[in-house]
Amino acid sequence: MKVIKSLFLSVIVISLASCNSNGVSNKPLKSEIDSVSYALGMDMGLKIKSNFENVNEELYFQGLKNGIDSTNLKFNANEVTKIVNTYFQKLQQEKRKQQQEEAAKIAAEKFADVKAEGEKFLEENKSKAGVITTESGLQYIVMKEGSGEKPVATSKVKVHYHGTLIDGTVFDSSVDKGTPAEFGVNRVIKGWTEGLQLMAVGSKYKFFIPQELGYGSTPRQGGAIRPFDTLIFEVELLDIVKK
């Protein structure tokens, strides 16, 4: 991780400066190596500050001095790496979560009509002949019932499928490509993971997948699926691929 490497490099660089229990002294720059040393330390300090704005400078320099002197060490080398890695991984996760929440909020405002249209479609569709609705909200029609084995979440399956939006727009189709697809049951959207486990090999079902069991507010960029789109798939379970 670049941030962590910078942190450790800064320890080496700052150690070149005059450091005591009261901090770093304000020495004049008398030579080229003085300027280079100061510039490197300043650069690392700015990078640490930009990536770790809550740094406790007193404890930072205490750790630096203890590391140089190899005395009063509170952690061993492995613990240091684990503590720093864990902290910055947590920061990255929090930042990623915040970005996702902000993106979802923007999408909810921009594509509110798409979401409402899908909800209306599913509400009307659930009362049609042959449509079964599960507890999660997944709707399906049995087009052909097979007699083979049913997959589980950890199975790998071979299928043919044809995917459309509620207006009939085709966004993906192994049928049109002429080649079946293979993938893990638990490696796809929630609607597929649930639906596939209802099917026996040889079956063909038609699934109506609510946006919350599909791609929600974050579909693949550049594709035909918009945020909050309801999806329709005709799926034929050809086989369970043996490992």
Annotated catalytic residue 189: yes
In whole angstroms, what is the distance from residue 205 CA to residue 216 CA? 22
Identify whether 161 is a catalytic site residue: yes
The one-letter amino acid code at 222 reads G
- Residue 164 and residue 172 in contact, taking contact as beta carbons nearer than 8 Å: no
Residue 68 CB neighbours (<10 A): 13
Contact yes or no for 114/169 (Cβ under 8 A): no
- The active-site residue, picked from 207, 215, 225, 240, is 215
Helices 32-51 and 2-14: angle between axes, nearest 10 degrees: 140
User: Among 172, 207, 208, 229, which one carries the catalytic annotation?
Assistant: 172
Active site residue 228: no
Active site residue 171: yes
Is 172 catalytic? The answer is yes
Q: Give the span between the Cα atoms of 55 and 32, in whole angstroms.
A: 30
**One of 121, 140, 208, 233 is an active-site residue; which one?**
233
61 is catalytic: no
What are residue 37's phi and psi, to 5 degrees? -60, -45
Task: Yes or no: say if 210 and 122 are a contact pair by the CB < 8 Å rule.
Answer: yes
Residue that has been written with the tokens 């330390």 in this structure: 41
Q: Please pick, among 121, 161, 205, 207, the residue that the annotation labels catalytic.
A: 161
| Burial environment of residue 118 by CB neighbours within 10 A (0 to 12, 13 to 18, 19 or more) | buried
CA angle 170/175/180 to nearest 5° reads 125
Which tokens in the block code for residue 231?
């999806």
Q: Are 7 and 17 in contact (CB under 8 A)?
A: no
Catalytic sites, residue numbers: 161, 171-172, 189, 215, 233
